[in-house]
Structure 1
């Protein structure tokens, strides 16, 4: 691509805040890309042709750079271009060697400096182009959190979200235009939020205070069954915790959840880490709706909900092999287990739970051929019996878990 693309971080203080190297890169450019706000921070004496990013941006990036091939290009980014910034997309598209990145302090660094928070210990969630509900899995009592806002309405929407989910007493601090002449910091408890929308360039700090009467929803698998809406078709929370343990999610991994029901396994897989992804396959359309509703309510709205697994795999050719597969329904349907096994990547894990004798016999045959672990769980729950307490048995669950060896 010739000269490296200069990717220059610019803060709210504008041109005056740039170091010598960053200024020289912008002055040397023949073409300068950026948002309208960023381009407006550059003085008129900079002679580069100014190009405002199109919307949507990412699909247009490659063609845009092809249009200006052979010319010296600089790109303006907010703060640190490699922190939720355009630098990440450019590195994926052209490779790191095609870029010369000149960062400024990120809004997160500046926010922690103002608040006196330890930068390395504060989780960050971006709601720029993402649903606001993605904040929910990060909330915990006494936990600090920073949220990169989408616009001026984000702080008020966050206050409402926290109030609806048992965190109304949490403290919200809005930090606007950090590092610039219009910097402003203000806050209030979420349940008392009365501030009008301010500057769209803001970041929100949350100091979590949980309502002890509200059900807790941690990242640890085994949420209360009552946290899920639906028709009662779900893996109960004790078995769910054991199943997620067998599936062993790791950051960035993909799960296929076959026979989604209420979506419990896929949802709690995704909640374990922000980078975990899942596709849930469910035959019935009403259940697909309830899975999507549960996923949004529990902070993982990115869960991919699809139809019956054999049909979907026949028409979808772009799916990459999953890291793990859970079969919780439809196991006795012809071809389901065989198809799942054939799509599982080498070294991937498959876990199947069954409650019928016919399904159990099928698992025994598969275990005899492929190995793995067979377990049977019997859960009892204490329930009242007159003035006393008795133990009510749940349906026993047989589980087969196996790792697909590279030689198979």
Structure 2
């Protein structure tokens, strides 16, 4: 039998002494082994997980009745070691005794509920989803790791203009050096931090206590009203915005989702950036016109995603140079710098670039720029005919202007995905 014992900080639970004394092998972080007083001849300090699991397997193969104790932090079934143990030895072989999650502790110290928080782990995972979720969501808790801790989170937020966040860094929760520090992202980026910490990332524009009671924890999922919203849902100038039918195809090809970053270049009204944010992604809207910048901010606020849409006032491609690398890019319009903008977007996008064009003459240069970056390119010409009323209670078809949509996809090798976000009911 493998007993998995969660604990708060380095304080062993009352039952730990008896379990340690009865165990043939005790596994855990060095700080947990030392705090529990595990004799050296029965202790195995965790480094890489695979060798530790191999040691357990060898012991159980030799003696099926051997008793193994795993000391873990907080709730080991919440982004913890229970997953790896169950995959290797089966759930029936485990006796899991959870402690209080460090996330629950951190929010408890603040005295606020956390059913409306998105919880993300950067431990042993690609840190980019954690950073993008902090950019996109108003209430986030991050289980950190070396290279993805408070300093890196602070630097990532500082790189996004116009996003207002405050960080709460909880260190050594339940331990003798426990501390909660509230500071700005820039302040967090400039400090060194203890290895054991949890980061809470809170939007200044969002109340710490949600106004509505939640029925599902974490990210609320797809927005009400769907997507590809009608043009009337956005403030715009002279109908200069991506039409709903075109936006529907663009969103389908962009595939914005929680944990990703999308650029909306030549944003105009910001309709694409706003829709991407409503679907859970962080978004950067780049617009050269000053009145357009204000319009984008107003549209983001009107749709409740001002916390997730950073607005850059500048001319592409120069304005793109200091932005974090995106997962997907939308390029609207077709000015003289189109080829340069598409080339830069294609060079930096991790997944896809979508370009919409009204002018046929611009299609070849945009396509060449996508192909030159090694993307697989497809495209379509769209023209919608909308129902429109006529006198006499009859209806006609009103044609919209045709638009070309090109998209380039970066070929990627298929591999296993590792979940690092809690979106459902959490423990």
When normalised by structure 1's length, the TM-score is 0.53
Deviation at 1:62, TM superposition (A): 4.7
Hey, what's the Cα distance between the residues in 1 that align with 2:95 and 2:37?
Answer: 22
1:11-30 paired onto structure 2 within 5 Å: 11-15=8-12, 18-20=13-15, 22-30=16-24
User: For 1:8, which of 5, 29, 41 is the aligned residue?
Assistant: 5
Structure-1 separation of matches of 2:131 and 2:96? 33
The number of aligned residues is 269
1:242 and 2:267 correspond? no
Separation of aligned partners in 2, 1:251 and 1:166: 21
What does residue 291 of structure 1 align with? 349
Cα gap change, 1:166 to 1:288, in 2 (>3 Å): closer
Q: Which residue of 2 aligns with 1:53?
A: 46
Is 1:159–1:193's contact at 8 Å kept on the other side of the alignment?
Answer: yes
Asked whether 1:34 is paired with 2:28, we answer: yes
The Cα of 1:184 is off from its aligned counterpart by 1.0
Give the equivalent residue in structure 1 for 2:54: 63
**Contact 2:135 2:163 (8 Å CA) reproduced:** no
CA contact (8 A) 1:30 1:48 kept: no
Runs of 4+ in 1 over 6 A off after TM superposition: 218-223, 244-247, 249-252, 268-271, 285-288
Alignment gaps of 5+ in structure 2: 206-220, 230-241, 259-271, 282-326, 329-342, 354-373, 387-398, 407-427
Instruction: Supply the distance in 1 between the matched residues of 2:153 and 2:186 (Cα, whole angstroms).
Output: 10
Instruction: Give the SS at the match of 1:178.
Output: coil
Does structure 2 conserve the Cα–Cα contact (< 8 Å) formed by 1:149 and 1:203?
Answer: yes
| Partner Cα distance (2:117, 2:6) in 1 | 22
CA contact (8 A) 2:154 2:189 kept: no
Conserved? CA contact 1:32–1:51, under 8 Å? yes
Instruction: Report the equivalent of 1:80.
Output: 75
RMSD across aligned C-alpha pairs, in angstroms? 4.6
Which residue of structure 1 lines up, in the alignment, with residue 403 of structure 2? 395
Q: Distance in 2 between matches of 1:63 and 1:141?
A: 40
Deviation at 1:39, TM superposition (A): 1.7
Alpha-carbon shift at residue 128 of structure 1 (Å): 1.4
Inter-CA distance 222–91: structure 2 relative to 1 (3 Å threshold): farther
CA contact (8 A) 1:143 1:208 kept: yes
Instruction: State how far apart, in whole Å, the 2-side matches of 1:136 and 1:237 are.
Output: 31
CA deviation map 1:96-117 (0-9, x unaligned)? 1110001111110100110112
Contact 1:127 1:150 in 2 (8 A): yes
Report matched runs for 1:274-313 at 5 Å.
289-292=347-350
Give, in whole Å, the separation in 2 of the partners of 1:392 and 1:139.
38
State the Cα distance separating 1:172 from its structure 2 match.
0.9
Q: Secondary structure of 2:79's partner?
A: coil
Q: TM-score, normalised by structure 2?
A: 0.51
Contact residue 172 and residue 188 of structure 1 kept, 8 A? yes
SS at 1:27 equivalent: helix
> Which residue matches 1:363?
none
- Measured in 2, the distance between the counterparts of 1:152 and 1:113 equals 26
CA distance in 1, matches of 2:190, 2:344: 40
The 1:150/1:181 distance shift into structure 2, 3 A limit, reads same
Contact 1:151 1:202 in 2 (8 A): no
Q: What is the match of residue 37 of structure 2?
A: 43
1:158, distance to aligned residue in structure 2 (A):
1.1
Which of the pair has the greater relative contact order for Cα pairs under 8 Å at 6+ separation? 2
